[in-house]
């Protein structure tokens, strides 16, 4: 099993560990609910080093990425991070990702852990004829996410630059107080910091050389102490994103097991239709037909927890299925995400979820179930 540079620290700190995407990662430290609420109310820190890091550089980088992804990077300013998705020739999602424009001809692509090698090969296979270089730097860099309403206050004690000036989904190379960052290919002798995350709260993500991550992790926990910072595991990461309706690659969509277009997955907003990109024709046709199922939130009205694979019914007919589910720590009811047929996608539609043979009352919601 693969490990991150923080692995021994997690063990020392008593984390309950699990396997995820081939990595031995913390599932929780004190408990999923406690960590979840720390992030919603104050601040938490996550090891997200399992996520990939691919550098794209060269004079054709903008043109290339704007073709292989549905976003048009020629319209995007330097320093901006963009949530987007890899789609195949049939318009099916392979992975969702954040692409940051580091310079006019320079980008950082962050795929999911389980898909990083696949995405790297996919990008390579589509790079013929373009003047650019691709580098998978995932194994040399580590990442932590500091998330929650107090994330800025915590990090401002470590970062020299004024963080109130770093906008949502923007990135910068920053100087850290008391931590000397090893000279590196991504951000020179500084730390790469973006105002991004997967929790639906304000928050930041660092990418730094492996050699610096233990010191940074400890420093964040130390200065965050007065805000009640909690180290958080993948359990809270999952429940936090679920309440906000964020997709989990490989679970809410998967090229083979759950083949979905970005239209079905509810992220059609990542598509810039005013430019040419891979599979545009296929997606345009699907968009115009408007027959596709849609990604929805499902909130239970009775006791129970929807889980991956459970079926959704209306008037005795199967109308969809759950792809992710949990007990919502904020709403304190079972919630799920999944795909629902038209015309049952309307918010407030009463449905039934089958839980181990029992039909439980539920209601269709927007994917974002917690405001």
Partner 1 sequence: MRMIPEDLKYTKTHEWVKVEGNKVRMGITYHAQEQLHDIVYVELPEVDTEVSKGDTLGVIESVKAASDFYAPVSGKVVAVNNEVADQPELLNQDPYKNWLVEIEMSNPDELNELLSPEEYKKLLEEES
- Does residue 28 interact with partner 1 by CB under 8 A? yes
27 counts as binding partner 1 under rule CB under 8 A: yes
Q: What's the N-to-C CA distance of the chain in angstroms?
A: 37
**Partners of residue 298 on adjacent β-strands:** 336, 364
**What is the DSSP track for 210-228?**
HHHHHHHHHHHHHHHGGGT
The two beta strands, 317-327 and 230-232, are unpaired
Question: To the nearest 5 percent, what fractions of the chain are helix, strand and coil?
Answer: 25, 35, 40
Judged by CB under 8 A, which of 52, 320, 329, 367 binds partner 1?
A: 329
Residue 301, SS3? coil
Q: Closest Cα to residue 338, out of 287, 266, 240? A: 266
Q: Which of 255, 304, 336, 338 binds partner 1 (CB under 8 A)?
A: 304
Which listed range, 96-104, 170-178, 303-311, 344-352, lies at the site for partner 1 (CB under 8 A)?
A: 303-311
Nearer to partner 1, 47 or 238 (CB): 238
CB of 304 to partner 1, least distance (A): 7
Q: Is the dihedral of CA 245, 284, 319, 348 positive or negative?
A: positive
In this complex, which beta carbon is closest to partner 1, that of residue 126 or of residue 299?
Answer: 299
Output the smallest distance, CB 332 to partner 1, in A.
9
**Judged by CB under 8 A, does residue 307 bind partner 1?**
yes
Comparison of 239 and 261: residue with beta carbon closer to partner 1: 239
Number of residues that bind partner 1 (CB under 8 A): 18
Residue choice 21, 31, 161, 314 for contact with partner 1 (CB under 8 A): 31
> Using an 8 Å Cβ cutoff, are 210 and 5 in contact?
yes
Instruction: Select from 21, 118, 270, 327 the one that contacts partner 1 (CB under 8 A).
Output: 327
Nearer to partner 1 by C-beta: 73 or 246? 246
Asked if 323 touches partner 1 (CB under 8 A), the answer is no
Q: Which range of residues in 75-83, 115-123, 140-148, 300-308 is near partner 1 by CB under 8 A?
A: 300-308
Q: Which two tokens stand for residue 133?
A: 């270089």
Tell me: does residue 239 bind partner 1 (CB under 8 A): yes
Q: Does 15 bind partner 1 (CB under 8 A)?
A: no
Spatial neighbors of 241 by CB under 8 A, at least 6 apart, are 198, 199, 200, 248
For residues 315, 317, 321 and 325, what is the CA-based torsion angle, rounded to 10 degrees?
30
Cα–Cα distance, 24 to 332 (Å, whole number): 29
**Counting contacts by CB under 8 A, is residue 291 touching partner 1?**
no
Q: Per rule CB under 8 A, is residue 214 in the interface with partner 1?
A: no
What is d(CA 273, CA 70) in angstroms, rounded to the nearest whole number?
8
Asked if 303 is part of the footprint of partner 1 (rule: CB under 8 A), the reply reads: yes
Both tokens of residue 28?
């929780």
Is residue 213 near partner 1 by the rule CB under 8 A? no
**Residues that bind partner 1 in the complex, under the rule CB under 8 A:** 16, 27-28, 31-33, 235, 238-239, 303-305, 307, 326-327, 329, 334, 356
């Amino acid at each position: 099993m693969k490990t991150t540079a923080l692995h021994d620290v997690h063990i020392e700190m008593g984390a309950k560990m699990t396997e995820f995407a081939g990595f031995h990662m913390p599932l929780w430290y004190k408990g999923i609910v406690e960590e979840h609420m720390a992030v919603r109310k104050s601040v938490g820190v996550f090891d997200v080093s399992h996520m990939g890091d691919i550098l794209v550089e060269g004079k054709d980088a903008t043109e290339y990425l704007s073709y292989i992804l549905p976003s048009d990077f020629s319209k995007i300013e330097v320093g901006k991070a963009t949530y987007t998705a890899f789609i195949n020739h049939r318009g099916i999602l392979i992975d969702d990702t954040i692409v940051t424009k580091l310079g006019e001809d320079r980008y950082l692509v962050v795929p999911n852990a389980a898909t990083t090698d696949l995405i790297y090969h996919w990008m390579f296979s589509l790079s013929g004829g373009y003047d650019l270089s691709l580098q998978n730097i995932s194994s040399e860099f580590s990442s932590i996410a500091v998330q929650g309403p107090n994330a800025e206050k915590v990090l401002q004690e470590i970062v020299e630059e004024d963080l109130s000036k770093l906008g949502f989904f923007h990135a910068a190379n920053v100087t850290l107080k008391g931590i000397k960052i090893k000279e590196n290919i991504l951000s020179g002798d500084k730390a790469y910091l973006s105002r991004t995350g997967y929790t639906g709260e304000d928050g930041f993500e660092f990418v730094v050389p492996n050699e610096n991550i233990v010191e940074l992790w400890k420093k964040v926990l130390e200065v965050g102490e007065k805000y009640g910072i909690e180290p958080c595991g993948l359990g809270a990461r999952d429940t936090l994103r679920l309440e906000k309706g964020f997709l989990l690659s490989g679970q809410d969509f998967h090229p083979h097991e759950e083949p979905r277009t970005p239209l079905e997955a509810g992220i059609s907003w990542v598509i810039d239709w005013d430019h040419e990109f891979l599979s545009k024709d296929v997606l345009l046709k699907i968009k115009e037909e408007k027959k596709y199922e849609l990604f929805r939130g499902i909130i239970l009205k009775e006791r129970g927890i929807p889980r991956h694979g459970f079926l959704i019914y209306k008037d005795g007919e199967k109308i969809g299925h759950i792809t992710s589910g949990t007990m919502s720590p904020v709403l304190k009811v079972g919630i799920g995400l999944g795909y629902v047929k038209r015309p049952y996608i309307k918010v407030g539609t009463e449905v039934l979820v089958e839980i181990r043979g029992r039909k439980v009352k539920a209601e269709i919601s927007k994917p974002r179930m917690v405001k």
